[in-house]
Each structure stands twice: as structure tokens, then as C-alpha cells.
Amino acid sequence: MFHALRIKTISSIPPLLKLTINFKQILTSAILLAATGYVAARSEMRPSHYVADGNSAITVNGQAKFNRALYGAHSGFRIDCSDTPEFGIYLPRMGGNLCLTLPEGKCTARYTPGRMDYEQGGVKVEAQVMRSEDMALWAITNTTNKTASIPVRFGGVADKKFYREGDLGVDDPTCFDLKPEYCTGNVYTVKGDKINIEYGKKQRSTLTLVIPAKSYKITDLPSYEGTLSIKPGKKVYLALFPASDAPKASLESLFKKRKTNVNNWPQASHSRLPTNGSIR
């Protein structure tokens, strides 16, 4: 009787309603299958390679790019850090690519809330972003007993709008790379350590870099290529900000101020870190 009643109940559903129910079931199944495939693909593309270390996450000789963001003020300004000292600049819109080439050796990258640190070949790099204004800062320290020559490259202020603001996993993973087409229309003016880059197709704007390079050249792209010369035990500072004028305060004082603010942030609970010790 139960089966007969069930068949009668289903057979009494209007054809259009049955079609709607079947379509919803098919759509739901398709979405679940697509989501499962997407998660699997993401897992293959982004293997867990960071490990927890106190309040930080570290990776050694990693190859991932633009996977750790440091956020600035409320404008959306940020820098996207990599497992090596290569950085994508977001103004918002594509604001360039800055890359430091450190001496040969094992590269250790350490992400701590609000900062990114690198160490390779006896040279340390610390990256910070100001919260009170749009500005990125780098401190580069030579811990060896000989002068270190560090090539630095910058270019690609394309002012390009990304589909999802350069979001990892949505936009092209190479969207922050230095590409020739990103450099079109960039005009460089160098005065001492200060580099102004004029950019923009519809409306021209200016971005400023401070790089105390011993020597430099503007390539045909165009892009900037310079060499830092750092004596043993010494430190130099780099800065980038989306304006034409450099800050009045010294970069060292700005960096120390920012570092003090970061060190005063509440410490994250260790219990929130993955129990298996790995962080993407």
C-alpha cells in the first residue's frame, strides 16, 4: 500500500513541476561536482609549503609568487610578497613589480602579521607597509664581512585593472609579473636616489621610488635597473609611494615607527595555527 501511495503521489505532480524539480537536482549536482574539482585543482596548484614558527609562518627555497599581502591605508594600497624578494604593487590597479636579487644561498622567507622577512646569502630584507599613508618600505641589511652588491629592478606601472584586484586563485597568477606591455607609456625621471615614474593612459599620474643605488640604467622596456652597494654590517632603505613628492621624514625614522607599531600588535594565538604545522 505504501508503494502504491508513493507512486500515486509522485504521479500526481504536474509535469512542469517535476521538470523543475529534476532541473534543480541536476544543477545542484553540477555545482557540487564543479566545486569539488576546483578545490582539488587549487590543492594541486598551491601545495602547503609554509610551516608554523611561533607567531610566524616560514618557507625555505619556496617558489610561489605574490602569495602574501601586506595592506596599507584604507585606499586599497598593498604589496603582494613572494617566497623570494619579488613584490607586486597594487595602488589599486597594477602599480609595478619590484625585485631584489640576493647573493646565492638558501632563501628563508618569514611572514609575520604586518611584515615579510627574507634572508639569503647573509643579506636580510624586511618589507613593511605604512598604515597611516600609502607607502611601502624595505630595509636591506648586510650581515656578512664584505660589501654586498644587490641588483634591484622595478617596472610595469600599467595602471591595469584586474578582474578581482589581483586575487590569488581568481586572477592570472602572473598578473604582477614584469611584462613588456605593462611598461608602455612609463616615463622615468631620476634625480639622485629619487625616481619618478609617470604613467597612465587616460589620466597621467606619478609614482615615486627612493633607491640609494650605486649605479643604475633605464632599459628599453622601459624599466629601472640599479645596484645597491651595502657595506658590512650596514643597512639601506628603499621606499615606494603613489605620489610625486618624497616624505619629509627620513626613511629610517619612518621604518622604525612602522616597526614599533607592528611589534605592538596583539600576538596571534598559537592554537589557531593548523595542527599539522603547515600553512599555505
pLDDT at 276: 40
Which residues in the chain show pLDDT less than 70? 1-48, 163-170, 259-280
- DSSP secondary structure of 211-271: ---SEEEE-SSS-EEEEEEE-TT-EEEEEEESSSS--SS-HHHHHHHHHHHHHTSPPPPGG
In this predicted structure, what is the pLDDT of residue 5? Answer: 43
Domain ranges of the chain: 2-45, 50-265
- Give burial (CB, 10 Å; 0-12/13-18/19+) of 196: middle
Compute the C-alpha angle 168/262/164, nearest 5°: 20
- Contact of 179 with 156, CB cutoff 8 Å: yes
Task: Read off the C-alpha cell for 78.
Answer: 598593498
Model pLDDT, residue 161: 85
CA-closest candidate to residue 198, choices 212, 188, 183, 210: 188
Q: Are 107 and 124 in contact (CB under 8 A)?
A: no
Exposure of 101 by Cβ count < 10 A (0-12 exposed, 13-18 middle, 19+ buried)? middle
Give me 173's grid cell.
Answer: 597568477
- Between CA 126 and CA 258 the distance in angstroms is 12
Per-residue pLDDT at 202: 87
Instruction: Give, in words, the CATH class of 50-265.
Output: mainly beta
CA distance 136 to 268: 24
Confidence at residue 81, expressed as pLDDT on a 0 to 100 scale = 96
